[in-house]
Amino acid sequence: MEFSIKSGSPEKQRSACIVVGVFQPRKLSESAEVIDQSAKQYLSDLVRRGDMEGKAGSTLLLHNVPGTLSDRVLLVGLGKEKEFREKEYRNAIATAVRTLNETGGFDGTIFLTELPVKKRDVTWRIRQATIIALETLYRFDQLKSKKEDVRRPLRKLTFCVARRSELPAAELALAEGQAIADGQKLMKDLANLPGNYCTPTYLAEQAQVLAKEFGLGIEVLERADMEKLGMNTLLAVAQGSRQPPKFIVLKYQGGKPDAKPIVLVGKGVTFDTGGISLKPPSEMDEMKYDMSGAASVFGTLKATALMKLPLNVIGVVPTTENMPGGGAIKPGDVVTSMSGQTVEILNTDAEGRLILCDALTYVERFSPDCVVDIATLTGACVVALGSVVSGLFANNDGLARELLDAGQNAYDRAWQLPLWDDYQEQLKSNFADMANIGTRMGGAITAACFLARYTSKFEWAHLDVAGTAYRGGEKKGSTGRPVPLLTHFLLGRTEAVQREAKKSRNQKKKA
């Protein structure tokens, strides 16, 4: 898709279709008013006759509207003006793009990006519009022998801004939005790929591709390397599988050489059967998404590299299958993790924490500025929060705040849950330093508490994305979350770096 930004009046655009909004009930938006005037009340007549109420999600496609230079005008219902907020804005853009794509014109000029959204500026509106547009057009048909092609697909989108002075900010926001959407697409493609294609070896290969494309540093540890390091809880999960595990490290160096890295750790279970503690059959296919954390790390690194952020970011992905078999771990087995702490594996289906704990110990060597792990870790998190927000845990309030804010800005939200010591009691074991499960109560929290035992040396946050990373049912598919949250977090860190640089420049000037 080709994108551009423009500022100008709607009736003068030469386009296959221009898109303007109508509020409920029957109130033309500003750009619709402008068209209406040059069209001698064509739109207001239509609206008065009841052809367009302005209901959210409704559309009306008009051809050869007098007084305009475009082939078509698409009216998009926006709902009540007073209730027009972030979600409504996003939905309006999605409706516009979907309709444009089905309409048959090659290009569209969208004026909805001029609509005021409370507390949000032009940067937010353009970034979001870009992300939503690409999200709306995303398809995963790699594995279909016959692709359902749209007959005349949309090729070019123009977003309009109200003032010329907004153009520079809008151009930057467009580039950022495209990078984020590209990262999200990478995540979705990897996560949607089934377990027989997307194995640990495949993820390692894709990491190589990414490293080559963007000049990232890369290291892939093999089973023997992990044995030397003592990553025994990771290896314990892998021992039931015929697929060899991989431990992937990707380094993006956009910051000063001495700047401490932000480390992202992603759970990469390419298929989670539960192991000997086998899962029930219904919806087990969805456990191909158990590498969504890993995919989000790759996606975020790609977006970061595309935006050339002035940060050092390291992505770490422990990846394996979780399978039953003659060689698999058994409930009750005790294993010594890389940290030296011993773990009694009471349930082989609580495997995510077992691979993450060794990864979290491993990243100590980077002296990280902070560590964020991303994992489809617990069904309990889905029970607690549903699919609207991700679960957030942190051993540092500042870091938690930053991630919550990033989620708000990205409209990819998270909600903080407690990490209090009181919950640690559930992990007591009679035979090892800790068990890998607690009781049925507070399962998302005890899982996070388990990880907390491996993260005392740095600022750390944990995102449980079991409910948000993919959808089940009819709309089954990866959502690309939390790539928007993570990239907005890094954009926030970038602003901080730039503020610091400016401050020190000013200090030098004074001296």
The residues carrying an active-site annotation are 279, 353
**DSSP-assigned letter for residue 146:** S
Q: Minimum Å distance from CB 300 to ligand BES?
A: 20
Q: Minimum Å distance from CB 393 to Zn ion?
A: 17
Which residue among 107, 272, 344, 358 contacts Zn ion (CB under 5 A)? 272
According to DSSP, the β-strands at 246-253 and 312-322 are: antiparallel
52 binds, among Zn ion, Mn ion, ligand BES, none (CB under 5 to 8 A by kind): none
| 331 near ligand BES, rule: CB under 6 A | no
**Cα separation, 283 vs 468, whole angstroms:** 16
Nearer Cβ to Zn ion (22/375): 375
H-type alpha helices, 332-453: 352-362, 379-385, 397-410, 443-452
**Cα separation, 462 vs 64, whole angstroms:** 54
| 135 near ligand BES, rule: CB under 6 A | no
Q: Which of residues 350-389 bind Zn ion (CB under 5 A)?
A: 352
Which residue among 11, 182, 189, 272 contacts Mn ion (CB under 5 A)? 272
Distances in Å between the Cα of 423 and the Cα atoms of 392, 417, 418, 504 are 16, 12, 9, 44
Which residue among 315, 352, 407, 482 contacts ligand BES (CB under 6 A)? 352
| 290 near ligand BES, rule: CB under 6 A | yes
DSSP 71-123: SEEEEEEEEEGGG--HHHHHHHHHHHHHHHHHHT-SEEEE-GGGS-BTTB-HH
Which residue in the shown chain puts its C-beta closest to ligand BES? 379
| 344 near Mn ion, rule: CB under 5 A | no
Nearer Cβ to Mn ion (254/379): 379
Strand partners of residue 220? 248
Structure tokens at 400: 């938690």
Nearer Cβ to ligand BES (44/424): 424
Q: Which of residues 175-204 bind ligand BES (CB under 6 A)?
A: none
Structure tokens at 338: 């890389």
Q: Kindly indicate which of the ranges 32-40, 77-85, 175-183, 345-353 contains the residues binding Mn ion, using the contact rule CB under 5 A.
A: 345-353
Nearer Cβ to ligand BES (310/331): 331
**Cα separation, 355 vs 80, whole angstroms:** 49
Q: Minimum Å distance from CB 287 to ligand BES?
A: 6
**Cα separation, 36 vs 234, whole angstroms:** 65
**Helix or strand holding residue 198 (H, E):** none
Which residue among 22, 126, 403, 437 contacts ligand BES (CB under 6 A)? 437
Nearer Cβ to Mn ion (333/349): 349
Q: Kindly indicate which of the ranges 10-18, 272-280, 291-299, 500-508 contains the residues binding Mn ion, using the contact rule CB under 5 A.
A: 272-280
Residues 6+ apart with CB under 8 A from 510: none
Q: Which residues bind ligand BES (CB under 6 A)?
A: 272, 290, 347, 349-352, 376-380, 382, 437, 443, 466
Q: Which residues bind Mn ion (CB under 5 A)?
A: 272, 349, 351
